[in-house]
A = this chain, B = another copy of it.
């Protein structure tokens, strides 16, 4: 998984029918690049999130074959690095 911070949201009115309704969030990764991830958790701007990618992300959706290759699977608790373990 990779982690990143939520930086905004996108809307796509024109879309394939199998793309689930729900938030498409822009997330900035550690290296400065951006990906757009489906968010089932209701995350907000600035939140630090955990993202899974590839077919694993699509497997989250139960009865449909969702064309989603990036999914927010958690919001990281903010703890000081010195107390991480």
Contact = CB atoms under 8 A, between A and B. Distances in A.
Contacts of A11: 76-77, 79
Contacts of A54: 54-56, 69
A33 B1 CA distance: 12
A67 B36 CA distance: 17
Contact of A84 (B9, B35, B55): B9
Contact of A37 (B1, B31, B55): B1
Interface residues of A, number: 54
Given A10-B84, A60-B18, A84-B10, A68 B1 contact: yes
Interface of A: 1-3, 8-16, 18-19, 24, 26, 30-31, 33-38, 40-41, 44-45, 50, 52-60, 65-71, 73-77, 79, 81, 84-85
